[in-house]
Chain A
Amino acid sequence: MIQFDNVSKRYPGGHEGLAGTSFRLDSGEMAFLTGHSGAGKSTLLKLIGLLERATRGQVWVNERNLNRLKDRDIPYHRREVGMIFQDHRLLADRTVFDNIALPLVASGVGHQEISRKVRAALDKVGLLKKEKLYPLMLSGGEQQRVGIARAVVTRPPVILADEPTGNLDPELSREIMELFMQFNDVGVTLLIATHDVDLINTLDKRILTLRQGRMANDTGVAA
């Protein structure tokens, strides 16, 4: 679950990232986050992953108040929040397998379990045959799926995606979104920032719209 209570984020230098945003996303819910460029979508996601801290208001994730979370607990928090980025953020000098294994290695999972979990994640995103390749040998859509596999490999209860389909053609974008919906089907909470209003209007999910750092519209829980 994710909850924002009147959250503001002011960046050093005075830029307003968010200006008093409130909303709640229950466990197992999926929503799209949209809004003009500079509306604060990335800022909102960063606050959830603790890449930034709120300057005002309260952020709650998985029953925890992030304002009170100590810095040394941030890694453990991030293990419960899978993050996906438009630019994938893969390590070019490591194979697909090793990229996906990274969160498991970082959290001290044993060898055999790593193999099993990485293969399961690869299977889910349909890249089982590409585990030995390097990211730059893959297409943009495949790279994005590696990024998704890395985010889900630890089975986090919450997944965030910041414009995951930004560089993909409509067909690939739809495939990716359908993949996210499959995760949601098994109970994962998802929040996906995107500009692709046409696509998400066809998907029958909740849509949150930001404008100038405020929640301008919320379609509410989908029927």
Chain B
Amino acid sequence: MTGRRSGRGPAFARNRNPMTWLLRHAQVMLASLGRLSRSPLGTTMTAAVLGIAIALPAGLYTLVNHVQALSGAWDGSVSISLFLRPDIRDDEAERLAQRLHTLPGVGELRLITPAQALDEFRRLSGFGEALDILDENPLPAVLLVNPTPAYSSPDKAEQLLLELRARPEVELAQLDLQWVRRLHAITLAIERAVWVLAALLSLAVLLIVGNTIRLEIQNRRPEIEITKLVGATNAFIRRPFLYDGLWYGLLGGLIAWLLVSISLWLLQGPIAQLSGLYDSVYRLEGPSFTSLLAMLGGGGLLGLTGAWIAVGRHLSEIEPS
């Protein structure tokens, strides 16, 4: 009996049919959902904690995105004022405007002739009569240049400014960038903070799911022992707990998405007012399908990972005796 001597003996029959495998996964997945729904209070509370932990960075991230979009809308209102030399005639200014228009980065362009400028000044300043005593119009022609969206960031706008300033017809070129720069810096800082927060809260989600699964494993210790006793593999024992973690994560993601959606809806009014103040047509967009997918995906992944860690640490300790 060589088989007996070598000790290997007949090989064990293992089930390797992929269809059966898939079917079994589907069954365990549904069974896990059923088990969770049979203790709705506990499940909801755990999922709500996860939801809040996911909603915080997700909500802030959404806000930062919106602020960036908003500042993009403001970038559009950035304009460069080119004050032309006094000896430039209107027709020369007109030709210059046409030439500049073909430059890359130059979007809309408006020429204000000295006469128009004086008119406007007269109208707005209230100095009407007083200005009549001037022999000569002291105002220069002005070209207002709106950079194209691609040239609206502070760096690009500055680059365009330098290019325009170098023109011989231009006496003075101005661009007010300070506040655009500040806004960019602030959103960048907040974005960084959001990532740190997201990392910390992801860790929190892992710990919460891990701890929940650990307690569940302890509660079901006798069941686990007996199931191992009758020939269940570790994969079989592990599976329901992993699906529990996955469901917790998915539920948490869903709750997070709802929380973010509600918050955005509440912010809709104030934001509309704010962007109105800045002459912006910007509107806060509602929560998107993509963000739902992202939160479900993130939550599910974190839940699964947390469960995996708990199962890896605690399931191997349980052996029948």
Contacts and interface: CB of A to CB of B under 8 A. Distances in A.
Nearest to A108: B15
A78 B20 contact: no
The interface centre, meaning the residue of B4, B20, B225, B230 with most chain A CB atoms within 10 A of its CB, is B230
Contacts of B265: none
20 contacts: A51-B229, A51-B319, A60-B7, A62-B9, A63-B3, A64-B8, A65-B7, A65-B8, A72-B233, A76-B12, A76-B14, A76-B233, A77-B12, A77-B231, A89-B225, A90-B226, A91-B222, A106-B227, A107-B231, A150-B230
Nearest to A93: B223
Contact of A83 (B9, B223, B229): B229
Interface residues of B, number: 29
B320 interface: yes
B4 A107 contact: no
Contacts of A67: 7
B20 A108 contact: yes
B8 A68 contact: yes
- Name, among A49, A75, A77, A154, the residue most crowded by chain B CB atoms within 10 Å (CB to CB): A75
Interface in A52-108: 52, 60, 62-65, 67-68, 72-73, 75-79, 83, 89-91, 102-103, 106-108
Given A64-B9, A102-B226, A75 B231 contact: yes
A102 B228 CA distance: 10
A112 to B, nearest CB: 13
Contacts of A52: 321
Interface string B232-274: 1110100000000000000000000000000000000000000
Given A76-B231, A106-B231, A51 B3 contact: no
A135 B15 CA distance: 31
Contacts of B1: 63
Nearest to A46: B321
Contacts of A14: none
Contacts of A51: 229, 319-321
A91 B319 contact: no
A-B residue pairs, 3 tightest by C-beta: A65-B7, A64-B9, A76-B12
Contacts of B223: 91
A78 B231 contact: yes
Contacts of A107: 15, 231-232
Instruction: Tell me whether chain B's interface is mostly helix, strand or loop, or mixed.
Output: loop
Contacts of A75: 228, 231-234, 236
A13 interface: no
Contact of A68 (B3, B7, B319): B7
A interface secondary structure, majority: mixed
Contacts of B3: 63
Given A51-B319, A83-B229, A154-B231, 4 more contacts: A60-B7, A64-B10, A107-B232, A108-B15
Interface in B1-56: 1, 3-4, 7-10, 12-15, 20, 24
Interface string B198-232: 00000000000000000000000011011111111
Interface in A31-64: 46, 49, 51-52, 60, 62-64
Interface string A124-150: 000000000000000000000000001
Nearest to A79: B231
A145 B222 CA distance: 20
A103 B319 contact: no
Contacts of B20: 108, 110
- Which of A63, A72, A91, A154 has most chain B Cβ within 10 Å? A63
B227 to A, nearest CB: 6
Contacts of A60: 4, 7
A51 B1 CA distance: 27
A78 B319 contact: no
Contacts of A83: 229-230
